[in-house]
Structure 1
Amino acid sequence: MNHEITGGSAAEIADSLRALLERGTLRAGDSLPPVRALAESLGVNRNTVVAAYRQLAQAGVIIARGRGGTRVVDRAPVAQEGFAGDSVLRDVGTGNPDPDLIPDPLHALASMAGRPVLYGEPVIDPDLEHWAHTWMSDGLAPAASMRLTITSGAADAVERLFAQALTRDDAVALEDPCFLASIHTVRLGGYRPVAVPVDEEGMTVAGLRAALAQGVRAVVCTPRAQNPTGASLTARRAADLRDVLREHPYVLVIEDDHFSMLSRREYHSLIGPDHRRWALIRSVSKFLGPDMCLAVTASDPETAERLAMRLTPGTTWVSHLLQRLTHSLVTDPEVMAAIEAAAGHYAARNAAFAERLTSHGLATEASDGLNLWVRLPVAARAVSEQLMRRGWLARTGDEFVLGAVPVASQRLRLTVHDLDDADTEQLAADIAAAVRAVRGRTATVGSGMIER
């Protein structure tokens, strides 16, 4: 390949490599020549090649892996939440709320009124802003200084927060295992994910400290119902994390409190009262439905100003019709009672399924959220294959992993709250049978190896 790369300057070498990519000579995952070897081949200073590679890395074309060399970025798609539309199997890995528990907006739509909103007017509906100020400030230490921004959902908010604070190859601390949308956003943005382990109390202190030591410029944390584990920050853990962050006040801390109104856990924040760059995001998608693409972001004034600027070249603002509809729903006592009932339903159904799995010999604890994070005594992928033969489609834990976390390969993330009692018992029995089948196959293979 050295002979196909040409150029005497960094720009020329970078252009040559781009041309090889466009022609298909270089493909995703391919290794590039070592800096020294390419410099000798082209007869240029090695710093020239370093500069060319840096240009391509900043453009998100290549990535340096230290001793692993420099490779063309592999843009393999990240798994996404939702139904597997091309499957005939019963999907228990969707991560979706129950459509029957999403409030019907018809009455609110019929009662909505107001004059059209024109260019140049305030981008936040005044009534929604007034309501959201109370919703967002409860339990938030720096609430007195917060500013509000409306975005098209939580993922939109995170992407724009990254864009206003980071450049390509900046390090970002993400929970591990991690929410799929966060993995997707970081990869597409060309940022460098740094894995922070999660335990039953949420993001770990040692993990956050290690990530900060690696120079992360942003931290994304889920304070409640962490996806996929269901963990929520305890008061003690949140305080310990704030202590660690006290020495890093300008690292952007993003809290994605996605489950908010549906959570059975108290909100504990890792954003301290004196932290300088922060954002708390709460979307309405879990309790008003994924198609209600709206999230409220509370942040420090500077972050809010930058976030608003990131909206101006794109969506400009979230539709005021959608904002008014959201306000109409969240201020309706009947809708709020339905949301509270939905919260109880999710918690009860998950707890009931955890009990059934435990009764089948698979000890499982229900935490918070729409899903269950089920520990298995064998490889989850092998169990999922067995479940497919029994008519079920499940998500394995390795889809959510950032770093080398072997335990996730023995996890299933299940969405079971919409199953009736008969299907619940059938799935629990089928998971137990699948585990026995995998164990039996492993034992047979092991016995065969001994005999040979």
Structure 2
Amino acid sequence: MLGWEQRFTIEPAGDRPRFVQIAQALVAEVRRGRLRPGDPLPSSRALAQSLGVHRNTILAAYAELRAEGWIVSEPARGTFVSQALPDPSPRRFAPSATLREQVPARAAFDLPPAIEPFRFDTRAPPGTIALPGGVPDVGLVPAALLARAYRRALQRDAKALLGYRDPAGHPALRAALATMLSATRGLAADADSLLPTRGSQMALFLVAQLLVRPGDVVAVEDPGYRPAWEALRRAGARLVPIKVDADGLVVDELAALVARERVRAVYLTPHHQYPSTVTLAPGRRLELLRLARGARMAVIEDDYDHEFHYEGRPVLPLASTDAAGSVIYVGTLSKVLAPGLRLGYVVAPPPLLARLVVLRSTIDLQGDAILEAAVAELIADGEVQRQVRRARRAYHARRDALAAALHEQLGDAVSFTTPGGGMALWLRARDDIKVAAWERGAAAHGVQFQPGSRFAFDGRECQQLRVGFAGLEERKLREAARRLAAGLEAARRR
């Protein structure tokens, strides 16, 4: 079985001879699907050693099984489960049988409520153009440079990197990220105030688990990012939605909530609000920080795509002006490099960060030391910075191409403000258009978008939809706009 050493245990049963017990136990393994027709069995010597019996006992058991037709022996090859089983009503076996078919179908204990997965729409039927927001173009990733950095890291320090490491992360990566955040985002961060994680979602989950106690009120944006909500809910938070308008989170609404009850934290995406892409207005930023200080409320700032701002100067994070220690800053390199690399980070006041490191060690022990060392080298060599510039130029052009194609193909059927940054457009469909029907019509014409209901706190139907542009070349984006228009016409005819 793929070179793995098979393990068997035989419990003593009555006065039956030992070889009979072993033979019956192996038949039971065939019946329950662990052993399938054609599977190799251990050699008599290996199985005897494993079970702590004399080899002759195993030879006797194998002889019994051969006589009954359960196994066959082939000279110079070994012993195998028979392709033609003697059981008159055997369980169905197939080479493609999955683990799900072999284990019990039900648990013998109560399960918690099912978790609804968040759909990223990265898998689409063949020929379908998917427009998920926030998904980068992995084709732009310098894969050869990354592979070379991996090799160098292993050649230079294999023994250390392949062993257990500090759960706080590779020191070279922490230092490199701290330098990057200081230079590009104005954060007064150093290596001791930063924890690399396996993606920003891990960072959010760790923060939620550490910060929230069952029943704590946490305010979130509406519409907003559902995976973050789920991480907070799993920690026991009672989520309260706060409206988002053209200037971002409505801080006055948050202040009214704070006046009514204790709010443990607020989670928001102030740079390019997810999903609407709007930027939190300067006045609201200052008011939010003032409110957080006064209420002793944590601010969880998710800056998921800071690098991709195309016009004017990027707005610095809330954390850059937080002198009181209210802000927990979460970022990621997944949008710059690739989602599959799973590399995020969290910056927090040292007492909180120390607790995050300990908590992280209980679920992950440590990060991916080889990846962290490789990316630290890429940052030191300037490759990550060059990748940011390449991707920013490409995404800027793609944003403009999709915006122009939507205006041309859809006319007044949608309205939108072209965002200054980000990786998606947030459209508003005309009032006489049913977005759910449009989604179905678009899918029938080979294009997928994300309806606004997916981001609404209560899942309500709304007139908004989100279309991503970062992951597709301009030609594909123009074709996607054409298909969106065709899908809209089909929806209108229904």
Q: TM-score range by the shorter chain?
A: 0.7 to 0.9
Measure, in 2, the Cα distance between the counterparts of 1:120 and 1:386: 52
Partner of residue 422, structure 2: 369
Task: Give the Cα separation in 1 of the matches to 2:306 and 2:196.
Answer: 16
Counting matched residue pairs gives 371
**Corresponding residue to 2:332 among 280, 283, 293:** 283
What is the distance in 2 between the residues matched to 1:184 and 1:110? 37
Q: How does 1:368-447 map to 2 (within 5 A)?
A: 368-377=421-430, 378-403=433-458, 409-439=462-492, 441=494
For 2:471 and 2:325, locate their aligned partners in 1 and report how far apart those are by CA, in whole Å.
42
Identify the residue that residue 262 of structure 1 maps to in structure 2: 308
Distance in 1, matches of 2:165 and 2:152, equals: 26
1:160 equivalent to 2:213? Answer no
Give the alignment partner of residue 343 of structure 1, picking from 382, 392, 416.
Answer: 392
The residue number in structure 2 matching 1:110 is 151
CA distance in 2, matches of 1:306, 1:116: 25
Alpha-carbon spacing, 1:266–1:405, altered in 2? closer, same or farther (3 Å): farther
1: CA distance, partners of 2:250 / 2:192: 26
> 1:263, CA displacement in angstroms?
3.4
Tell me which residue corresponds to 2:177: 132
Which residue number corresponds to residue 253 of structure 1?
299
Question: Do the aligned partners of residues 167 and 386 (structure 1) sit closer, same or farther apart at CA in structure 2, a change above 3 Å counting?
Answer: same
Residue 232 (1) aligns with residue 279 (2): yes
**What is the distance in 2 between the residues matched to 1:122 and 1:397?**
38
SS in 1 for 2:242: strand
| Residues 238 and 269, structure 1, Cα contact 8 Å, conserved in 2 | no
Q: CA deviation at 1:375?
A: 1.2
**Helix, strand or coil: the match of 2:339?**
coil
Give 1:339 deviation, angstroms.
1.9
Give the direction of change, closer, same or farther, for the CA distance of 1:323–1:143 in structure 2 (3 Å limit): closer
TM-superposed deviation, 1:93? 2.5
* Residue number in structure 2 paired with 1:220: 267
2:241 to 178, 186, 195: 195
Return the offset for 1:356: 2.0
Q: Check if 1:77 corresponds to 2:116.
A: yes
3-state secondary structure, aligned to 1:287: coil
Mark the CA change 1:146 to 1:439 in structure 2 (over 3 Å): closer, same or farther: farther
Instruction: Indicate conservation of the 8 Å contact 1:176/1:196, yes or no.
Output: yes
Equivalent position SS for 1:286: coil
TM-score (norm 1): 0.73
Separation in structure 2 between the aligned mates of residue 90 and residue 121 of structure 1, nearest angstrom = 43
Aligned 8 A contact 1:82 1:96 in 2 = no
Q: CA deviation at 1:318?
A: 0.8
Task: Give the whole-Å Cα distance in 1 for the aligned partners of 2:121 and 2:459.
Answer: 25
CA contact (8 A) 1:283 1:295 kept: yes
Identity across the alignment (%): 25
Aligned counterpart for 2:355 among listed residues 301, 306, 311: 306
Q: Distance in 2 between matches of 1:120 and 1:439?
A: 59
Which residue does 2:31 correspond to in 1?
A: none
Query: 3-state SS of the aligned residue for 2:307?
Result: helix
Instruction: Give CA-to-partner distance per residue, 1:35-54, whole Å, 9 cap, x none.
Output: xxxxxxxxxxxxxxxxxxxx
Gaps of 5+ in 2: 1-106
Amino acid corresponding to residue 109 of structure 1 in structure 2: Y
CA contact (8 A) 2:167 2:360 kept: no
Q: How does 1:23-42 map to 2 (within 5 A)?
A: none
1:92-115 residue CA offsets vs partner (Å, 9 max, x unmatched): 226421111122112222322225
CA deviation digits over 1:348-369, x for unaligned, max 9?
Answer: 2112211221233133332222
Partner letter of residue 220 of structure 1? Y
2:267 is paired with a residue of what secondary structure? Answer: strand
For residue 321 of structure 1, give the secondary structure of its aligned residue in structure 2.
helix
Residues 398 and 470 in structure 2, CA contact (< 8 A), matched pair in contact too: yes
Q: Which stretch has the larger CA shift, 173-182 or 239-248?
A: 239-248
Choose which of 381, 386, 389 in structure 2 pairs with 1:332: 381
SS at match of 1:348: helix
Does the aligned pair in 2 maintain the 1:79–1:180 contact within 8 Å?
Answer: yes
State the Cα distance separating 1:383 from its structure 2 match: 0.8
CA contact (8 A) 1:252 1:278 kept: yes
Counterpart code for 2:120 = E
Residues 302 and 87 (structure 1), Cα distance of their counterparts in 2 relative to 1, 3 Å cut: farther
Give the 3-state SS of the residue equivalent to 1:238 in structure 2.
helix
Counterparts in 2 of 1:288 and 1:245: CA distance versus 1, 3 Å: same
Q: Is the 8 A contact 1:136 1:298 kept in 2?
A: no
Match of residue 407, structure 2, among 353, 358, 362: 358
Quick one: distance in 1 between partners of 2:372 and 2:167?
12
Q: Could you tell me which of 130, 137, 140 is aligned with 1:91? A: 130
Q: Mind listing any 5+ residue stretches in structure 1 that lack a counterpart?
A: 1-21, 29-60, 62-73, 442-452
- Residue 122 of structure 1: CA displacement? 7.2
What SS class does the counterpart of residue 312 from structure 1 fall into?
helix
Q: 2:321 aligned with 1:294, yes or no?
A: no
Match for 1:424: what amino acid?
L
Distance 1:241 1:137, change over 3 A: same
Q: Hey, what's the Cα distance between the residues in 1 that align with 2:256 and 2:126?
A: 41
SS at match of 2:208: helix
Alpha-carbon contact 1:219-1:253 (below 8 Å) kept? yes
**Amino acid corresponding to residue 114 of structure 2 in structure 1:** R
Between the aligned partners of 2:298 and 2:126, the Cα distance in structure 1 is 40
Task: Output the CA distance in 2 between the equivalents of 1:288 and 1:145.
Answer: 21
1:159, distance to aligned residue in structure 2 (A): 0.7
Change (3 A) 1:132 1:357: same
CA distance in structure 1 between the partners assigned to 2:353 and 2:415 by the alignment: 45
How many angstroms does 1:277 deviate by?
4.0
